[in-house]
Amino acid sequence: MSDAIEYELKGDIAVLRANNPPVNALGHAVRTGLIAGLERAEAEAKAVLIVGAGHTYFAGADIKEFGKPLREPGLPGVCTRIENSPLPVISAIHGTALGGGLEVALGTHYRIAVPSAKVGLPEVHLGILPGAGGTQRLPRVIGAEKAIEIITSGRHVGAAEALELGILDEVEEGDVETIGLAYAQRILDAGLGPRPVGQMPRPTPVDFDSAYVAAMKRGRGQIAPATAIRSIEGACHYDITEGLEHERALFMTLFNSPQREGMVHAFFNERAVSKLPELKGVEPRALKTIGVIGGGTMGAGIAVAALLAGLDVTMVERDAEAAKAGAARVNVILQGSVKRGKLSQSKYDAIMASGFRALDSCDALSEADMVIEAAFEEMGVKKAIFAELDRVCKKGAVLASNTSYLDVNEIAASISRPRDVLGLHFFSPAHVMKLLEVVVADETAPDVVATGFALGKALRKIAVRSGVCDGFIGNRILKTYRSCADHMIMDGASPYEIDKAMTDFGFAMGPYEVADLAGLDIGWATRKRLAPTRDVRERVARYADKMCEAGNFGQKTGKGYYVYEAGKRGGTPNPEVIALIEAERADLGVTAQDFTHEDIQRRYMCAMVNEAAMVVDEGIARRPLDVDMVLLFGYGFPRHWGGPLKWADLQGLDGILADIKRYAMADDFFWQPSALLERLVAAGKTFDDLNKGDTV
């Protein structure tokens, strides 16, 4: 018997105890152990109890085995073998029974859980569908409609709800193995035998076509949820054997799709991204009290994020009135959290009574462990604030700037303690957005970097290390692909075609919808800031400046690329923009070309990949996965592609390089192929090879 399944006979009941830390994933050794344990139990016991050692029941198939040759016994066969056992087989669940874990539990005949347990079929988040009977057995237990909801959302279902739905038979407080044994004994005492879910009546069909269409729309290009619906449909028409075959065929199409690779890349790297080799063994500094300078949208969002994580926050504004307005912003967000049930009234009361204060002097920050400056984006303003912090803050306090573009080295060099300075680039709204760029300046001390990551963890954000450059990882790459989109507009595409092409690609919003939301004045200010140092060969669209000069800043003024009517969601294309674009094309003597959706997507992505490769080559991002996580968590990049550099690997780097060189024939200033991309293509390697430690 494999060590991953411990076997113990307790009276008439054989206990099969999974011991495969950390999450009892159903790897090959576990599957083999389950079959061997079952065989032994059938020779000497009257019932079988399956339970997990450590924190959890099985949290699913072993995702690390994905992409490797499948080794027998496969999970579907294990579940069927359990279901066909002549002995009653009972699952006792604690922690999580997810994916293959819940499928094993549905293969067993009776299920009991502790109240804190969660169950679910989250496979769609890995680009696949439940492939070990989940789409056949779950609908037999809870009906097709509910199964569609649970499988396509992949959500975790709490024990109480699972009991109500019938996924669980009993929920009981106590040690999981003890309650499982007692339940198994009750089943034996009652003379109950096996109760195979596969033999239950087929579920009643629902309107699968409508559900499929809705899932395709919601998935924005992701195919797994809709494919899972077709598999559930099979449960209504086939017996269990045919249904499992149908499920297997659909599972394999997803398993072999690039989307599965993209989703698994995202799963592992969102966990890997904050584990920096250079921080191994480096202890972060103490982090209990935080100062936030600035009570605007960003400052208030940062304050709320910190307060919700249990940190003590002092906000500082330039005068009493501004401090009052900042406090009011924090209050509005927190009250919203209470209304939505995200924050209890008692926690809110405690925060407002002692966790938060807004004042008008930096002197209040003398005891803060960390201060995050979120003031106006201008070097002079930042330097003045840092000089003040240098004067008042205690020794060892971490001094952070939330700048989006400015040179953190210059800020650090302006005070007496540059080793304590770093950038912490939050994304708006800071209490919602998951990404945090931890910007490491030349002099930043390792334990200050570690403290930046510790803050990210406390705030439950995806923290990514970035070096210093204009825009850091994310905004620098954004600037390039936005420029590429602007060039396409000058050459013949419309902003609306570009938005449509990129939402079809899977982005939540197109670049011009985003620009309207963020405010067109932001890009305008950046263009003005960069104008004095701009290379004469750079193509810059002037029509966007004209929109701003006319006072059209996007959603906040009711007009931008789109026109927004009060009370209506979304906008309609603004005809004035098309007129401005056409006038500029006429001025420049440009004849508009046709761009297909595919042309737009390809150019946009090539620009993103090329700049991202430069960012990696320069060491601004240490690994391609850092770029991928920045784009996924800060810029709405579709998760099923894993990130732009994973997307590039999946398309083939040689084709991307060839296209960049083709585009360069018309504009060799913008389209300068990244040297790293050239080296990777020459060596026949991928970006993911670099993630695994390879070099070129």
* Site residues (vs ligand CAA, CB under 6 A): 22-23, 25, 59-64, 75, 96, 98-100, 103, 122-123, 126, 130-132, 268, 271
Nearer residue to ligand CAA within complex by CB, 117 or 547: 117
Contact 522, 577 (CB under 8 A): no
Minimum gap (Å) between residue 268 Cβ and ligand CAA: 6
Contact 464, 626 (CB under 8 A): yes
What's the rounded Cα separation, in Å, for the pair 350 and 358?
A: 15
Q: Which residues neighbour 683 within 8 Å (Cβ) at sequence distance 6 or greater? A: 696
Task: Respond yes or no: is residue 103 known to be catalytic.
Answer: yes
User: Which residue among the candidates 45, 59, 61, 412 is catalytic per the annotation?
Assistant: 61
The DSSP code sequence of 262-319 is HHHHHHHHHHHTT--GGGTTPPPPP-SEEEEE--SHHHHHHHHHHHHTT-EEEEE-SS
Q: Give the total residue count for the chain.
A: 696
Minimum gap (Å) between residue 463 Cβ and ligand CAA: 15
Order of all β-strands in the sheet with 89-93: 5-10, 13-18, 47-52, 89-93, 110-113, 170-171
Task: Respond yes or no: is residue 83 known to be catalytic.
Answer: no
Say which residue the tokens 């999970």 belong to: 75
Minimum gap (Å) between residue 550 Cβ and ligand CAA: 50
Beta-bridge partners for 48: 14, 89
CA atoms within 13 A on the CB side of 598: 1
Segments of 343-479 assigned E as strands: 356-359, 370-373, 398-401, 421-426, 435-439, 462-466
Minimum gap (Å) between residue 610 Cβ and ligand CAA: 31
Segments of 151-254 assigned E as strands: 157-158, 170-171
Nearer residue to ligand CAA within complex by CB, 63 or 372: 63
Nearer residue to ligand CAA within complex by CB, 25 or 412: 25
What's the rounded Cα separation, in Å, for the pair 61 and 109?
A: 20
Minimum gap (Å) between residue 654 Cβ and ligand CAA: 31
Task: Respond yes or no: is residue 161 known to be catalytic.
Answer: no
Task: Respond yes or no: is residue 584 known to be catalytic.
Answer: no
User: Which residue among the candidates 45, 105, 123, 412 is catalytic per the annotation?
Assistant: 123
Nearer residue to ligand CAA within complex by CB, 97 or 656: 97
Nearer residue to ligand CAA within complex by CB, 118 or 425: 118
Nearer residue to ligand CAA within complex by CB, 122 or 295: 122
Minimum gap (Å) between residue 63 Cβ and ligand CAA: 4
Retrieve residue 432's tokens: 């919602």
Nearer residue to ligand CAA within complex by CB, 98 or 632: 98
Minimum gap (Å) between residue 106 Cβ and ligand CAA: 11
In order of 341, 476, 477, 516, the CA distances from 512 in angstroms are 33, 17, 16, 6
Nearer residue to ligand CAA within complex by CB, 237 or 271: 271
Retrieve residue 240's tokens: 């269990």
Minimum gap (Å) between residue 479 Cβ and ligand CAA: 32
Cα dihedral across residues 278, 280, 286, 291: positive or negative = positive
Q: Which residues neighbour 608 within 8 Å (Cβ) at sequence distance 6 or greater? A: 477, 480, 481, 484, 631, 644
H-run or E-run covering 646: helix 644-651
Retrieve residue 347's tokens: 């926690």
Contact 522, 548 (CB under 8 A): no
Minimum gap (Å) between residue 249 Cβ and ligand CAA: 14
CA atoms within 13 A on the CB side of 528: 11
Backbone angles phi, psi at 154, to 5 degrees: 70, 15
What's the rounded Cα separation, in Å, for the pair 462 and 332?
A: 25
615-627 core/surface letters (b: 16 or more CB in 10 A; e: else): bbeeebbbbbbbb
Contact 205, 232 (CB under 8 A): no
User: Which residue among the candidates 27, 52, 100, 510 is catalytic per the annotation?
Assistant: 100
Nearer residue to ligand CAA within complex by CB, 31 or 431: 31
Minimum gap (Å) between residue 146 Cβ and ligand CAA: 19
Nearer residue to ligand CAA within complex by CB, 61 or 244: 61
Minimum gap (Å) between residue 137 Cβ and ligand CAA: 12
Nearer residue to ligand CAA within complex by CB, 96 or 552: 96
The three-class DSSP label of residue 44 is helix
45-59 core/surface letters (b: 16 or more CB in 10 A; e: else): bbbbbbbbbeebbbb
Could you tell me where the DSSP H helices lie in 492-556? 495-505, 511-518, 520-530, 543-549
The rounded Cα 371 to chain-centroid distance in angstroms is 27
User: Which residue among the candidates 27, 97, 99, 103 is catalytic per the annotation?
Assistant: 103
Order of all β-strands in the sheet with 118-120: 96-98, 118-120, 157-158
Minimum gap (Å) between residue 464 Cβ and ligand CAA: 16
Retrieve residue 555's tokens: 């959603």
Nearer residue to ligand CAA within complex by CB, 83 or 497: 83
What residues act catalytically? 61, 100, 103, 123
